[in-house]
Amino acid sequence: GALGGLGLALGLWRRQAALAAAREDEEEKELRQRFMAPPVSGLRELRRRRRELRSRMELLIMETQAEVCRALTALDPGASFAVDSWERKEGGGGISCVLQDGEVFEKAGVNVSVVSGLLSEEAARQMRSRGKSLNAKDGKLPFCAMGVSSVIHPKNPHVPTMHFNYRYFEIEEADGTKQWWFGGGTDLTPTYLNEEDAVHFHKTLKEACDKHDPKLYPKYKKWCDDYFYIKHRGERRGIGGIFFDDMDSPSKEEVFQFVKSCAKAVVPCYIPIVKKHCHDSFTPEEKLWQQLRRGRYVEFNLVYDRGTKFGLLTPGSRIESILMSLPLTARWEYMHTPLESSKEAEILEVLRNPKEWVH
């Protein structure tokens, strides 16, 4: 009788194990379909550590990448994303999804990177200059950084360029304690001002922030206006949005939930604007003005953008992915000045003196 009972128990255990394995395979298949490519850390590893924040953040950035790529492809069905998985010999890797020369989008890139290793001296110096006290062990600082970042440059000058980036950083100090923080934001760069679009964009981001704390949107809206400032031109890169960095309170879980709300707001804040204007007619003069504004975009990204600088200073980083934010075409004309009271002068006024779009 005892042996029979043991046999039954063994049979039951085997069935449960087989069911669990089948469930795992099903889950893996579903995740593969949800993403643009297999995650850098591997699905099994992510599932094994699924309660850890690092794994949850990696799943979030993978989901955000897929959501945005699918939303863009739905608007530009003739175009498709080239999906490029890459490895970094110093640790980690990434997935770059780039669409070029579509009907609606001239260039759209949505990148995920999950990298680890030792922080370069230059990158550590950049962080210390922002007030980070980093206590290295034998001059070494192990780090882990992951994020999703995207820049979308449409063909039509009446459709704005959009950028977003959400990231998580962890550094281990000499005594084994870990410093962590989140950063990111979403911002809009129109060639021509459309007040209704500006209000929709800011309102969607404000709603995402307000779920967590009504003080966040005004603070991060101002930070965005200050950050995307092209000092040598005396103008902002665009009409802003939200931007934050070094966010490490009230708690890891609360900050993660806030970042998740912001990431989920990307598609609803931007896609309706693209749909509304992607078939608008435009003149060669309007196209020229778009090219000149793109030149300003390039100036900001190469001279001031902290993410670009960090990428260029990190050994083994993938230059193609870092410079994915640059447009396919741009233009610099000597001493170009728009006519007074023109549509071109109108956007310049807002770039020089940022407005409050929602209250």
212 labelled catalytic:
no
Residue keyed to tokens 């069911």: 19
Q: Which of 163, 200, 202, 277 is catalytic?
A: 163
What are the C-alpha distances in Å from 140 to residues 118, 134, 174, 307?
6, 10, 8, 21
3-state secondary structure the chain: CHHHHHHHHHHHHHHHHHHHHHHHHHHHHHHHHHCCCCCCCCHHHHHHCCCCHHHHHHHHHHHHHHHHHHHHHHHCCCCCCEEEEEECCCCEEEEEEEEECCCCEEEEEEEEEEEEEECCHHHHHHHHCCCCCCCCECCECEEEEEEEEEEEEECCCCCCEEEEEEEEEEEECCCCCEEEEEEEEEEEECCCCCHHHHHHHHHHHHHHHHCCCCCHHHHHHHHHHHHCEECCCCEECCCCEEEEEEECCCCHHHHHHHHHHHHHCHHHHHHHHHHHHCCCCCCHHHHHHHHHHHHHHHHHHHHCCHHHHHHHHCCCCCHHHHHHHCCCCCCCCCCCCCCCCCHHHHHHHHHHCCCCCCC
- Please tell me the distance from the alpha carbon of residue 122 to that of residue 118, in angstroms, as a whole number: 12
- Please tell me the distance from the alpha carbon of residue 234 to that of residue 70, in angstroms, as a whole number: 37
What are the C-alpha distances in Å from 130 to residues 127, 167, 227, 252, 315?
5, 17, 13, 20, 21
Catalytic residues: 163
